[in-house]
């Protein structure tokens, strides 16, 4: 795993955007996995900027989002479909019919979840998955206790997540109690993964996810078994890590040999 640390959120967002750009440029019909939350917003605005300056095109990119609140329609301002439209899709040259977000209003959950997984497979799998991390270690909405082999499914949100996400709703009671999320197993099948985290509030969980044991109680810890995963952290989010010197040394070595070291 690579751990890239910079002083500010802006710096890690730009570096993450450079990585996404370089991967999209290398492959036709690129399949990009996307996340919501505030962590990827800097990345999204950097990608918009690149697109508007004609430095990067999304014409041949297909996207799959990790998750969606169960019960919210795509036109609900707090739905993740709405979030993606407003914060990325509306501003880039992507074909909207190639942007997939789980349907929070589906009546037939099981079939829908199987269908979503099948769509990912039919597209050739996710080339690069973007992740944030919840304060309880969730990726997507894989709350503590999610099987590390889990697939796309309905999940009940943890009280901590409802509390954290209530800032986007009028009050806590309006936060949906359920969501549809790709599973940890689904996420681990992405060919490459990047996780962006910033701020002191994420420092403890980041240290546990990167340097603690792999456990179903911290879904992000499962990323330790992935072959090609890069964490982009600002100094606050990295502040509880023990092996910062090593991560910096590896990055320096990458510069010397001109190759990423996972
Ligand atoms: C939500 C999303 C996650 C996201 C998390 C953290 O729960 N389902 O995908 O990573 O929030 O959000 P933030 O980046 O705002 O801290």
- For residue 21, the model assigns a pLDDT of 98
pLDDT of residue 35: 98
Q: Does 141 contact ligand 1 (Cβ within 6 A)?
A: yes
Residue 93: predicted pLDDT: 98
Please answer whether residues 71 and 96 qualify as being in contact, where contact means their C-beta atoms are separated by less than 8 angstroms.
no
Rounded to the nearest angstrom, the gap between the alpha carbon of residue 73 and the centroid of all alpha carbons in its chain is 21
Instruction: Out of 12, 33, 36, 78, give the residue to mutate to test ligand 1, the one with the largest number of ligand atoms within 8 Å of its CB.
Output: 36
> Which pLDDT score, from 0 to 100, does residue 69 have?
98
Quote the tokens at residue 108: 């037939």
Which of the residues in the chain have pLDDT under 70? none
Segments making up each domain of the chain, as ranges? 2-256
| Residue-wise DSSP of 129-149 | EEE---TTS-STT--TT--TT
In DSSP terms, 67 is beta-bridged to: 181
Contact 110, 76 (CB under 8 A): no
Closest residue by Cα to atom 6, ligand 1, is: 134
Q: Is 33 in the pocket of ligand 1 (CB under 6 A)?
A: no
Which pTM does this prediction carry? 0.98
> CATH number for the 2-256 domain, one of 3.30.43.10, 3.90.1640.10, 3.40.50.1360, 3.40.50.2300?
3.40.50.1360
User: Can you give the pLDDT at residue 31?
Assistant: 98
Closest-CA residue, ligand 1 atom 1, reads 37
Q: What pLDDT is attached to residue 226?
A: 98
pLDDT value, residue 102? 98
Task: Return the closest-CA partner of residue 154 out of 64, 35, 69.
Answer: 69
> What span, in angstroms and rounded, lies between the C-alpha atoms of 153 and 130?
19
pLDDT tens-digit readout, 81-137: 999 999 999 999 999 999 999 999 999 999 999 999 999 999 999 999 999 999 999
Q: Is 143 noted as a catalytic residue in this protein? A: yes
| Beta carbons within 8 Å of 2's beta carbon, 6+ residues apart | 229, 230, 231, 247, 250, 251, 254, 260, 261, 262
């Amino acid at each position: 795993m690579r751990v890239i640390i910079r002083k500010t959120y802006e710096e890690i967002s730009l570096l993450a955007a450079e990585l996404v750009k370089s991967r999209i440029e290398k492959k036709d019909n690129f399949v990009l996995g996307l996340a919501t939350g505030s962590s990827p917003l800097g990345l999204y605005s950097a990608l918009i900027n690149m697109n508007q300056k004609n430095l990067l095109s999304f014409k041949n990119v297909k996207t799959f989002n990790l998750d969606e609140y169960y019960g919210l329609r795509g036109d609900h301002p707090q739905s993740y479909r709405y979030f993606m439209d407003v914060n990325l899709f509306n501003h880039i040259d992507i074909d909207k019919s190639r942007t997939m977000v789980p349907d929070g209003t589906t009546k037939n959950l099981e079939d829908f979840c199987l269908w979503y997984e099948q769509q990912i497979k039919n597209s050739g799998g996710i080339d690069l998955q973007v992740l944030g991390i919840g304060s309880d270690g969730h990726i997507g909405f894989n709350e503590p206790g999610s099987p590390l082999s889990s697939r796309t499914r309905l999940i009940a949100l943890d009280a901590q997540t409802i509390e954290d996400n209530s800032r986007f709703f009028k009050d806590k009671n309006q936060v949906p109690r359920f969501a549809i999320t790709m599973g940890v197993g689904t996420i681990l099948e992405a060919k490459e993964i990047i996780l962006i985290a910033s701020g002191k509030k994420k420092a403890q969980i980041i240290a546990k996810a990167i340097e603690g044991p792999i456990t179903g109680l911290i879904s992000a810890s499962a990323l330790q078994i992935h072959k090609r995963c890069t964490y982009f952290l600002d100094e606050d989010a990295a502040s509880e890590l023990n092996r910062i010197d090593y991560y910096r040394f590896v990055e320096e070595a990458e510069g010397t040999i001109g190759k990423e070291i996972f």
